[in-house]
Chain A
């Protein structure tokens, strides 16, 4: 990509991450995941999509469409919500483990 994209690519690479949500003690149920943006490091603040939280909402997804409700506190989700954030190599840290891939995608000859 041209030089004009240098800063954007660096920002994107630095800020990009994936967020996965799962239930405590139920790893086999699988997890919900999406992409996110690292807003701040150390302390770490991440902004991601809210869609992966609907299975955990105490009041169900209807809470998201109530009039004049623009935000919900963290405890609007059940206590068994477990969140993990993963991002690319930015700092000299010990090698990480990536989650094992699930079958479901392939690269068909076209």
Chain B
């Protein structure tokens, strides 16, 4: 049976395929509107959502079909099996209301890579990530999904086991770079659309509509709040002339970002807060490291206080393997709130027993530079994201290998400057030792040359 292996690779045998009929095709207008805003118009050229099986050549026409169908879903009625009476109903599925899952909250995606190609092996494969961003019912997660998982369910840990969304496009490519994010359509508005469509198309289908799973918990009409964890609010968008990137508030009038975002000292900078939205404060670059410094850092002093923005606690220790989160304005910039991606602290590189570089497995994209790297559990600030990785020979970019400047390198100088206005500590960053430079040039450290005896 199945693969002819005579084995049951995933426990008990699968159910035999059951015939079904199409009741209706449906889409969520709000999803399509947000999709057009974030991925349409001039951005359309950059984005591709091809979901083809590996050996399929995808023609332009097919790609256009896939794009048109991206936000569409289908409601099917499954024919009753011969022993329907004996079938278990299983636990009732519950749906999370839109907005009830916080940005950065863990999610579990469940889909079957390559669809019905090899269900014995791939049916209901799980993948974990977090809710990375949300624009109405258009959600993004960094849980890795593959072609064939379109339509698969995405579940939350809280409310426990609730269906949050369905996969709309597993692979997103921006400017031919895989961004490591999966596009989702929130389940609650989709099922509301299904209910409305069923009643209009099949007037006698009230019983069918009643079968659609209910939303759990919160009464309707709650205002959609940005539920990101408090530490995520410290991330800001930094705009300096035509260049923009991310940054993090470290004191009531102090923001740290990368030099390549705000390179010129005394240049005017506009800092956009994530919460409250649409608040922007002018500032000026009071320090930026030299090009020769391995620490790509700039400091911006603001003309007003950052009211209501929680200041992150700088970490003092780093633990390889600990869960971490990156918050930044990569991928969408100002078109969307900050993006949260999750991973682990994959390496802490030290020189003379002092951490000088952090690496993570979070997805980091262009525009994330200058943003904060947090410990997911404590919310402590671990570092400032400086770059991801590009293979110069192939031009390929690797979002999930990235480099941050440990906060322990910066904290004493930032504190000194914040309290006294003295830049001496920060200027030390321009005098980093050669071994630190070698590390940040991703070069192998030179072995200690044997001294000549002569």
Contacts and interface: CB of A to CB of B under 8 A. Distances in A.
Interface stretch (B20-28, B233-241, B272-280, B399-407): B20-28
B15 A87 contact: yes
Contacts, number: 316
B14 A46 contact: no
Interface in A49-101: 49-55, 61-62, 64-65, 70-74, 76-77, 81-99, 101
Give the bracket for the number of chain A residues in contact with chain B: 35 or more
Nearest to B155: A8
A97 B93 contact: no
A101 B21 CA distance: 24
A104 interface: yes
Contacts of B110: 12-13, 15-16, 35
Nearest to A20: B116
Contacts of A54: 65-66, 68-69
B17 A16 contact: no
A43 B2 CA distance: 27
Contacts of A19: 20, 74, 76, 115-116, 151
Contacts of B128: 1, 5
Interface string A21-45: 0000000000111111111111111
Nearest to B27: A70
B219 interface: no
A19 to B, nearest CB: 7
B90 A14 contact: yes
Given A11-B93, A64-B69, A50 B27 contact: yes
Give the bracket for the number of chain B residues in contact with chain A: 35 or more
Given A33-B117, A71-B26, A10 B161 contact: yes
Nearest to A96: B16
A101 B53 CA distance: 13
A85 B20 contact: yes
Contact of A48 (B55, B73, B197, B208): B73
Nearest to A54: B65
B66 to A, nearest CB: 6
10 contacts: A7-B160, A8-B160, A20-B17, A43-B211, A47-B190, A49-B168, A51-B65, A53-B69, A74-B24, A101-B120
- 4 A-B pairs with least C-beta separation: A33-B115, A44-B78, A50-B72, A7-B161
Given A37-B153, A55-B65, 19 more contacts: A4-B160, A12-B153, A35-B167, A50-B74, A52-B74, A62-B68, A64-B27, A64-B72, A74-B23, A74-B25, A85-B18, A93-B83, A93-B86, A95-B1, A96-B1, A101-B120, A102-B117, A104-B54, A104-B117
Interface of A: 1, 4-20, 31-55, 61-62, 64-65, 70-74, 76-77, 81-99, 101-102, 104-105
